[in-house]
Each structure stands twice: as structure tokens, then as C-alpha cells.
Amino acid sequence: MPTKRKYFGTDGIRGRVGAHPFTPDFVMKLGWAAGRVLAATGGGPVLIGKDTRISGYMFESALEAGLSAAGVDVRLLGPMPTPAVAFLTRNTRAQAGIVISASHNGFEDNGIKFFTADGSKLPDETEIAIEVELERPLEVVESDRLGKVRRVNDAARRYIEFCKSRIQAGIDFGGLRLVVDCANGAGYRITPAVFEELGARVEVIGNAPDGVNINRGFGTTDPENLRKAVLRAGADLGLAIDGDGDRLILVDRKGEIVDGDEVLFILAKTRIETLNGAVVGTLMSNLGLENAVRSLKLEFLRARVGDRYIMEMLTERGLKLGGEASGHIINLNLANTGDAIISGLQVLEAMMGTGQSLDELKRGMRKFPQRLLNISCKPGLDLKRFPAIDDAVREAESILNGRGRVLLRPSGTEPLLRIMVEGQDEAEVDTLVHQLAARVESALDQRR
């Protein structure tokens, strides 16, 4: 069996709609291949949820056909946040869950993510086994063994009640005024319902999906409308989720953006006794977060970028809390995947428990200036083949002289090379990241 994956990246399979592999025929074959592998591990239906992209209808039908052809029953959830699919897969004792979403990307892209029966992401060996099946001819089971399909009507209510159960009994958010930005995505109904049912006064934006406006002008990647709405309403807090509901970015009452690193710090300092002595970030986590966590007498560990690698480190070391600056926060005391709603509830619970506002809670962490630039590149870029890039990185690091960090990494979800420079001096960081990006582009152009 091969050891490398051809289609699966760090977060399932993702691509441009209509371009290989994201075509209806491939996705149908993927459903069949996944069904073949999953059917060998046990019975039970497979759940399918999706975000609000117009292409979700097409790919939902394709997956449904492929799974049915493999003899696997299907339960359709409709628009549903990614963490909700993970929860419902476990809660309904399904054999697997599938999410049709490209997360924070625009509507032109889409993706397929899988969850195991316990709501965790597929292990590498299962993804490889699915890819092996993809290379085989599609064979339909006998007609009397075809999978049956039906819709689940109470999925949203089950998940809302689960989210509400994640905070201490008796806590009431009455008196809090919130603005919730749903990114015109999968959580556009569920997210405001959770906070309203817990007593908060909620103004909702980004809750009018039309199939093509997901993440456009709203959500975690574009929180400016949320910032304006918080200031206009005089709200205590603004919460932005992304298109599939697993990332969270906040806005405090002063209109300042609070990213995932700061959320992670707030949760670390208000839940120290539950963390088993350490917090997990990534290679991209701000140096200010590392310093702040260590000031709490906690160890700070860095995993590779991607929530699956955070989860691996948490599991391997028996830890509970980790996350990324993008707003993907995992607290294994409360859920087994990143969940924007649950992360937001934890912050509100911290505010109620301490009597402090969000801007007061984030004190104690001083972020280092950090600049990130993206450069288009071919998928599968191997930086080791470019000595000129290695030279450029070393020169930038020598200029920083221990006062910062340089990191280059190919994205696991897009054909981009991410270039990050971090340091104490903002002007120096800005100059270095642009100089480094120019040299990297020059090196890549010479090989094109």
C-alpha cells in the first residue's frame, strides 16, 4: 500500500469547483471509495453535512450516489457547521461523517472532510486506503444492498443543546450585548440561536447566504464589518465564525480585533487547572503568545500548522488546549474538534466568571509584530530544491539576530507559499518580509 496521499491534504480534499479533482464524477467515485473502506470497518449510516456554497447541492448528490452504490446508508444533515457534523456522528452512532466545505475559502472552491465514528478526523492509513480504492473500477452492489438515504430533521436542535451544555449550569448571559457574524456560512442559523437561548441580546450579520457570498465581506477572514457593528451597537463583544464554523475571531468593545492566539491565552489563564501543564500552538503562533503562556508557568509547545497536528500533539502528550491564530481552538475537555461556538462560549464564561471585559482579559499578552505574505506556487512545492530561498531565509534570520523568527511553509489547503516574519520592530519586520518575498518569487520564477 502507498504511504503518500495523492488527494488528501491537511484538511481533507479541497479544490476549485469544476477543476480536477473537484468534479461531480470524481466526488461520486470518492463517495464510493470511502463507502467501500468504511463498510469494511463496521455498519451504520454515514452523515453528510455542508456549508452554504451553491456547489454543495451538486457534491451532496454525488457523494450520496457513490455511498449508495457501495451499499452504505446515508443521512443528510443539510447546512451544518463542521464541528456539528463531528458531534452528530458520535452522538447518533454513525460510522462516519462527511462535511462538504472549503472552510474560509471563497465560493469558487469546495472541499470534502471526513470524520470517524468518534468524531475525529480520519487517520492517514484510512485516507490512503480510500485513495487506493479510487484507482479501482467502480462496482455497484446488488440492487437489494444499495444504501438508503433520508434527511435528519432534528440535527440543528441536537447540536444547539450540546453547545449550551458546554458551559457551567446556571450561567446566564443576560445583560450581555453581542454582535454575531455568521460569514453567510453553515452556522447562519445555529450560531445566533445558541447565544440567544443563553440570554444574550444578539445582533446578527452575515446571515443571508445566497450560495456565492460565503466569507465575502464577513467572517473570520474579513472582520471589518463586525468591528463597525460592535462600535455602532455599543456591544460588549463581537464574534465572527468562518464559513464552516470551526474558527473564531473576536472584536472587543473598543473595536479591536482579538485573534486566535489571544483567545488561546485567555482560555489558558482562566482554565490553568484543567490543562495538564501545557498549551499547544503552531509554528505560526505569535512569540508574544509563547511568552505569555510561559508567564503563567505553563509549557508552550509548537505543532505543525493545521488542526490535525495540534490534535495529534494534544493526544500524544495527554494535553487539553491548543489552537491557531486563525481562530481554530481545540479544548478536549469540551469537544474533540475545533468549534467556534464552543470557543466563544468559553470566552463569555470567562468574562462572566471574572467580571472582566474582553479587552481586560487579553491583558498580559503583548503580540510581536508579525507579517504574513502569500505567494502563488505549484502544489507539492519542495523548498529543499531551492538553495537560493534557503540563503534568503538565513540572511533574514541573521538580520533579526535572535530578536524574531522567519518561517516559510506551503499551505496545506491552497496553492500558496506562506512567508512569515516576526520580530520586535514593526518597520524592520515589514521590510524583511517584502525583501524575502521578492527573493523567493525570483527563485521560483527561474524554475518555471
Query: How does pLDDT run along the chain (448 residues), one tens digit per residue?
Result: 566 778 998 788 999 999 999 999 999 999 999 999 987 777 789 999 999 999 999 999 999 999 999 999 999 999 999 999 999 999 999 999 999 999 999 999 999 999 999 998 888 899 999 999 999 999 999 999 999 999 999 999 999 999 999 999 889 999 899 999 999 999 999 999 999 999 999 999 999 999 999 999 999 999 999 999 999 999 999 999 999 999 999 999 999 999 999 999 999 999 999 999 999 999 999 999 999 999 999 999 999 988 889 999 999 999 999 999 999 999 999 999 999 999 999 999 999 999 999 999 999 999 999 999 998 887 777 788 888 888 999 999 999 988 889 999 888 667 888 999 999 999 999 999 999 999 988 888 776 5
The 8-class DSSP code of residue 12 comes to B
Bridge partners of residue 376, in order along the sequence:
416
Q: CATH topology of 176-255 equal to that of 259-367?
A: yes
Tell me, yes or no, if 103 is annotated catalytic: yes
Name which of 338, 345, 296, 297 is nearest 321 in CA terms.
Answer: 338
Of the residues 101, 103, 326, 343, only one is catalytic, namely: 103
Q: Which fold has domain 13-155?
A: Alpha-D-Glucose-1,6-Bisphosphate; Chain A, domain 3 (3.40.120)
CATH class of the 176-255 domain in this structure: alpha beta
Indicate the domain borders of the chain: 13-155, 176-255, 259-367, 370-447
Name which of 192, 138, 193, 198 is nearest 169 in CA terms.
Answer: 198
CATH class of the 370-447 domain in this structure: alpha beta
Q: What are phi and psi of 49, to 5 degrees?
A: -120, 165
State how far the Cα of 447 lies from the Cα of 85, in Å rounded to an integer.
43
337, three cell numbers? 474538534
Q: What is the dihedral of CA 119, 121, 125, 127, to 10 degrees?
A: 110
Measured between alpha carbons, how far is residue 325 from residues 151, 219, 232, 383 in Å?
Answer: 36, 15, 26, 24
361, three cell numbers? 482579559
CATH of domain 259-367: 3.40.120.10
Burial of 78 (0-12, 13-18, 19+ CB in 10 A): middle
Name which of 109, 115, 84 is nearest 193 in CA terms.
Answer: 84
